[in-house]
Amino acid sequence: MHIVGAGPAGLIAAETLAGRGFSVTVFERMPSPARKFLMAGRGGLNLTHTEPLPGFLRRYGEAQEWLTPAIQAFSPKRLRNWSEELGEPTFVGSSRRVFPRSYKATPLLRAWLRRLERLGVTFAFRHQWLGFAPDGLRFATPEGERTLAADATLLALGGGSWPRLGSDGGWVGALRAEGIAVADLRPANCGFTVAWSDVFRSRAAGEPLKRIAIHGGGLTAAGEAMITEAGIEGGAIYALSAALRDAIERDGAVTIHIDMQTDMSVSELAWRLERARAGQSLTTTLRKVAGLSPAGALLVREGGPLPSSSEALAALVKAVPVRLTGTQPLARAISSAGGIPRDEIDDDYMLVKRPGVFAAGEMLDWEAPTGGYLLQATFATGRAAAEGITRYLEQPDRP
């Protein structure tokens, strides 16, 4: 049994299959496993989320119906139990996100690899999948190109974001060459470009916007954002990124509105601005009365001269317009949209046009916001594919 890709989807499938007695080899083009998984855990490994399951499943948008059986079978509760069995009990953060006790990915991965070693899983690193051959899979290896055959294969090669960590999307062409439809990979959970003025860019780039709410694409998200040299990114932006990306692809640009003072209504803020100390500069007023950070006050002024009336200024603070002109490159996105669509995969996650070849994880055409939803579906589809492979290998009349 061959698994191509040593990320979470591939590793959970390897664990499941090896635990049932199958001989499993995991092929990985990088010199070590789960590099993007480790990167995701640098700031705290967000495994899953405690949102009730109906709302949790709605986070997957158009892919909800497709992913529901897999996530119900390997639910957030089961993922937390699995982590605890590896010696990493989980805890729930203030945002209802779930983290391992150590908070980092490294201890969990080390324990996981020890379990896989005990189960007899072998690894072949620096093996890059090149595509199919009549008698197996083609790999570029340190010893040259090789063709390897197996009774079944799972492709778990990830999406196209952070290619330096292993997931470069190179598999798209190999599958299309076999007549398998693959939706173009696009950035998801990404930042956006903005044509900032030179003055604003030089003074505000690298500064956070805290306790804000962003309205855009017909949706609203509260949280934080970060001003960058090229535009804007951060949690509140990522939550809206799919809708904003689609709007830009359709219309060429989209304008969001940022509420810089979520604790006051327009009327309350206007009342306070009206009573601001005479002779105080508008920037100082915005900082002291409206509670804005220096970067926030600069952003309010970025659109041009400030209105003279307190009511109009309050309305501006509560809905600062920012025109997004494009997405950041796929290589810089947290995850990717696109991939193998539902109609190319059967209920066991096997490629319809390639019997015996399965796919899981971010290779599939689904996307989700950050907050634990990405890893949950990656684990769940890897586990579901392993179940499908088990049924395939155990059928008496398989080809």
Q: What is the DSSP letter of 328?
A: P
Cα torsion angle, 167, 169, 173, 179, sign: positive
pLDDT in tens, 353-391: 999 999 999 999 999 999 999 999 999 999 999 999 999
Question: What integer is the mean pLDDT of 324-344?
Answer: 96
Q: Please say if the pLDDT value at position 78 is more than 80.
A: yes
Report the C-alpha gap between 5 and 141 in whole angstroms.
Answer: 14
pLDDT score at 395: 85
pLDDT score at 278: 65
Report the C-alpha gap between 186 and 253 in whole angstroms.
Answer: 16
State whether residue 185 is helix, strand or coil.
Answer: strand
Q: How far apart are the first and last CA of the chain?
A: 15
pLDDT in tens, 252-289: 999 999 999 999 999 999 998 888 766 677 778 888 88
pLDDT in tens, 23-69: 999 999 999 999 999 998 888 999 999 999 999 999 999 999 999 99
> What HEC string does the chain produce?
CEEECCCHHHHHHHHHHHCCCCCCEEEECCCCCCHHHHHHCCCCCCCEECCCHHHHHHCCHHHHHHHHHHHHHCCHHHHHHHHHHCCCCEEECCCCEEEECCCCCHHHHHHHHHHHHHCCCEEEECCEEEEEECCEEEEEECCEEEEECCCCEEECCCCCCCHHHCCCCCHHHHHHCCCCCCEEEEEECCCEECCCCHHHHHHHCCCEEEEEEEEECCEEEEEEEEECCCEEECHHHHHHHHHHHHHHHHHCCEEEEEECCCCCCHHHHHHHHHCCCCCCCHHHHHHHCCCCCHHHHHHHHHCCCCCCCHHHHHHHHCCEEEEECEECCHHHCCEEEEEECHHHECCCCEECCCCCEEECHHHECCCCCCCCHHHHHHHHHHHHHHHHHHHHHHCCCCC
pLDDT score at 22: 97
Strand-pair category, 97-100 with 122-125? unpaired
Question: What integer is the mean pLDDT of 114-133?
Answer: 97
pLDDT score at 398: 63
pLDDT in tens, 190-216: 999 999 999 999 999 999 999 999 999
Q: Please say if the pLDDT value at position 144 is more than 70.
A: yes
Q: Which tops the pLDDT comparison, 177 or 288?
A: 177
Name the percent of the chain lying above pLDDT 70: 99
Share the mean pLDDT of the chain.
95
Question: What integer is the mean pLDDT of 233-257?
Answer: 96
